Structure formats: C-alpha cells, structure tokens
Chains A and B, each alone.
Chain A
Amino acid sequence: MKRCSIGSSIGSIAIFIFLYLPMLSVAIFSFNASKMGLKWGGFSTEWYGRLVQNETILNAAWNTLVLAVCSTFISTIIGTMLAIGMFRFPWSRRAMGKLNLLLHLPVVTPDIIFAVALVIAFSVIRYLTGLFELGMASMIVGHVTFQISFVALAVKGRLELIGHDVEEAACDLYAGYWRVLTKVLLPMLMPGIVAGAMLAFTLSLDDFVISFFTAGPKSGTLPLFIYASVKRGITPEIHALSTIIMVATICTVALMQKLTPDAKH
C-alpha cells in the first residue's frame, strides 16, 4: 500500500516553499545594490561591509553572544545539579510531584507571562536592595531561569538511560562520593549535558520576548535591534544582518544534529 499519496508530496513541497520563501527572499535582497525600495539594482556586497562599520550592530552582536554564553554556562551547571538532585535521590511521592511541577513551570509558561513575572521579580529585588538595574545582568538571570528546566530535562533523559550500576560498582571499589560524582557520573552524563547546553544556547539566541522586557538601554541584542529598526522601515543592512543570523542558525542546527545523532525531535 502506498504510504504517501502524490497529493501529500506536492502539498509538503508547497509547505517547505512556504517556510523557506520569506527567508530566501531576505537572503536574495541582502545582495541588492539599490538602497531604496525593493527594485533589483544589481549584485552587491556593500551592505555586509556596512554592517562591520556599524557600532550599534557590533555592540548588539557582542551583547547577544555574551548573553548566550554566560546564561548557557550558568544554566548548564544549575540544570545538571537539579536533574541529579531530583532523579538520583529518594524523594517522597508528594515532594516529587511538587518538584516536577516547578521543573515544568518554565516550559509551559507563555513567554509573555514569563517576562512579566521577571519584570515584577526584578522590581521587587530592586525595591528591597537598591541593586539590579535592568541591563545585561538582569537579562542573564532571566535567560538562566528559563534555560534551567530545558537543561535539567535533557540530563534527566540521560540519567534514566545509564542506570545505577556503574555508580554502585564505583562505590563498591571504595570511591568516595565526590570521586563517584566527578569521575563516574558526570562523564557518563556528558552527552545529555552537551545536548542540554546546546538547547539552552539556541534558546537564548532565539529569545526575543524575555530580552525585550528585561533589557536595559545599553544591553540590546540583535533581535531587539532588528525589531526596533523594522519600526523605522526595511533597509538592506537589516537584510544582510538577518541573512548572517540565518546562516549561523543553519550551522548550529547542523552541528546539533551531528553531535546528538539520537535526538531526532
């Protein structure tokens, strides 16, 4: 029996065109020589050159990278600890239920409510301590908060897969707890930790809403910059910037698929 009709195939190709056509047209028009409007004025790489000279864009790119690297680093540590603490220790059923609820809360909360919650939390902290103006620090804290759960869930999968046997063997051979943790458990968890970290990194790069609410005047990221410029009209420089980001995304996704061959979805 045929499992995919011709209609489905044609429809699917049309859907892929639908998904890629806008991105492709941005890439094409980033090489357009004419400055105003969308009339084709010949091939040119001028806009890519302009990008490198634009201080605001370079600053935003730097911010995006700093934000993604710092938040991924912190959330990978905290998330891995959380997964080990939750799934390698005895918990009563009730406590486990509550912990599970908290663990899944950042995953199911809509972006905008998450952002509103963070804004309220930050303003309370600022009111109580006088510290913590909105800026890079608040953005990193915000991103870490939503990344923790994704890292913990990725590590959880690995924890369940490897079982307890090797740790028990290490204990039988008189390894202390610290040694079991650093020499046995963490190396075995590494694929899960790497997958979680990559997920956290891409989530941070991909985020707009949380950055939009928690950014300070000087800590704007690339998506925030693009959003603000679109309000003033479309320019070829934005085409070039978007194209670079899209190419970077494609490379990251390809890398992720290479590094985690079992993560099909």
Chain B
Amino acid sequence: MQDESTERAKEAQPIILYNGEMVRPSIIRARQATFISPGILAIITLLALPCISLFAVAFMTRGQYGEILFEPTFGNIRRLFGFGFFGWSADNLLILWRSVVVAFVTTALCIALSYPLAFFLAARPAKTRLLWLTVLLIPFWTNLVIRTYAWLLVFDSDMPFARIMAWLGLMEPGTSAYPSQFAVYVGMVSVFLPFVALPIYTAVEKLDWSIVEAAVDLYSNKWRVFRHAILPQTLPGLSVGITLTFVPAMGMFVVPDMLGGARYMLIGNLIQQQFGTSRDWPFGAALSLVLMILTLGALMATGGRRKKGRA
C-alpha cells in the first residue's frame, strides 16, 4: 500500500533537465542539501549560534569559581560603563575608546604609506613586478607572533634604535623602547600595511592615466591631482583596505600585549583576560558583544561608502 503511494508520488513529480541531466527535483534537492550541510552546519553551530549566545551570556552572573550562573543581571553592562564595586571609574571606557583610536590611527598611517608603495609597485616592469609583490606578501604570511617578537628585538636597549634615541635625549639611556605607545603603533602598522597596500595596488594598476594627465595639463597642483583624479579611481581598493585593517585592528591583542604591556591595554586584551586568568565569561561576553557591534558598524560604514563609490 505504502509502496504504491510513494510510487505514485514519484510519478507525479516532473522530470526536469538540469545542468544537462534528466532528474527529479527531489533528487536535486537531496544532493544540494548533502553538499552544503557539513560546511553550513559547522559554521552555524561553532560560530553563528555561539555569537548569538553572547547576547545571553553577557547578562548572566559569574559564580564564585568562574562558572556561569543562570541569574539574569545587568551587572556586566554596568561594569562595562565603569560602575564597579568601588564606584565609577573610566578604565573600561578608556580601553574601548583607545581600541577605536588605535585602529583608526593605524588605518590612517597604513593608507598614507600604501599610496607611494602602490605607485612604486605598479611602475615596476611586468617581469619583476611579481617578484616585488612576493616580497610584500612574505611579511603578510609570516606568523604574527614572530613578527611582533622581531620588533621586541629591534627595540631592545642594546640595539641601535634605543641607543640613538637615548643619545638624542628622547629616552632614558639603558632602557628599551618597549612597552610604549610608539612600539604598539610601529607593530600595528607593520602587521596591517600589506592588507591596505595590496588592494590599493590592485586599484592603481587599473588606473586610467589619461584622467591624471588631463588634470596635470589643466595645471592642477599635486594635491588636486590626487584628490580629483587618483582618489576617486582608487576608492574601491581603499575601502577594501580600510575594512581589512580597521576591523581586525580593533580586536588585535597580540601586538598590544607584547609591545604595549599592561598599561596599554586594548579591548582584545581585556576579552582575553576574562576568558583566561580572570575566568569571568559573562563580562568577557559583554565585551565581545561590544566589539561585535563596533565591527558591524565599521563594516556597514565602509560597505555603504563602497556602494556610493560605485554609483
């Protein structure tokens, strides 16, 4: 009986031509579900759902031994805005503000360095250009910890940099140039420079030089040539570069941890602390939530600009 009905259901289904093959739609549906399910399931269960669960965890209480108690509270959010056990302090807000500022300045410095680099790369003859690009890609692929560690070595008190600075009177003799704000910026810029330089290079390579020449012929000064002839053409690459730098720079914790020390914490370090030594997951979740919202804001801002740039 049942066989008959399924048999009839099969007959009722039309056979269609898809991608050169005669199949029933149900078979195509089964195939596409099989193909995507492992990947999509992994992304949903291990990334999307936990990210959504941050909203819940951020409003729970930390138990005495770092376990999560299912008692709803606004304590973590209040603490985020500085209302702790000992009255109001601006520490957490300051760290948040500093993360945004560091990400912003890093992105700006990277852009300023990327333009000359992009023009230099685009002007190389075709034969050696791939070699130059590889030279730029190698630091990009080198492990972050090793690159940051390398700066520790350069900034050490025995190395020329610290000695020259001490000789100029800018630093105490015999001290290292880290931990300091300066060291954090140097580390950040060297990490993120390829992320900006490569998309800008791609845009500069496709640049329509006749527009630039027209601007020069019409007696534009250098700034106006850049502002009106070069910048609009490289805007797509620029906005990709900004997204690729600003978003990860806000959450960066290796560089400020190694080069900045405890006095120069960013939100990434604070989150790491909550999930590490402090074992305060609810507060960590609240901080992650803030970082997530900042990330979404940055993505939407650059995404909107990109659409405008195309129009």
Contacts and interface: CB of A to CB of B under 8 A. Distances in A.
A86 B36 contact: yes
A167 B151 CA distance: 53
Listed residue (B50, B199, B275, B299) with the most chain A CB atoms within 10 angstroms of its CB: B50
B230 to A, nearest CB: 11
B2 interface: no
Interface stretch (A41-49, A141-149, A187-195): A141-149
Contacts of A3: 119, 122-123, 209
B128 interface: no
Nearest to B189: A18
A112 B19 contact: no
A26 B149 contact: yes
Interface in A155-196: 164, 167-172, 177, 180
Q: Number of contact residues on A: which range applies?
A: 35 or more
B254 to A, nearest CB: 6
Interface residues of B, number: 89
Interface stretch (B6-14, B88-96, B165-173, B285-293): B285-293
Nearest to B39: A82
B248 interface: yes
Contacts of B122: 3-4
A169 B18 CA distance: 12
Contacts of A52: none
A85 B271 contact: no
Interface of A: 1, 3-5, 7-9, 11-12, 15-16, 18-23, 25-26, 29, 37-39, 78-79, 81-82, 84-86, 88-91, 99, 102-103, 105-106, 108-114, 116-121, 124, 141-142, 144-145, 148-149, 152, 164, 167-172, 177, 180, 202, 205-206, 208-209, 212-213, 222-223, 226-227, 230, 234, 238-239, 242, 245-246, 249-250, 252-254, 257, 264-265
Interface of B: 18-21, 23, 28, 31-36, 38-40, 42-51, 53-54, 57, 113, 116-117, 119-123, 130, 133-139, 141-147, 149-154, 156, 158-159, 190, 193, 198-199, 201-202, 209, 212-213, 216, 247-248, 250-251, 253-254, 258, 268, 271-272, 275, 281, 284-285, 288, 291-292, 295, 299
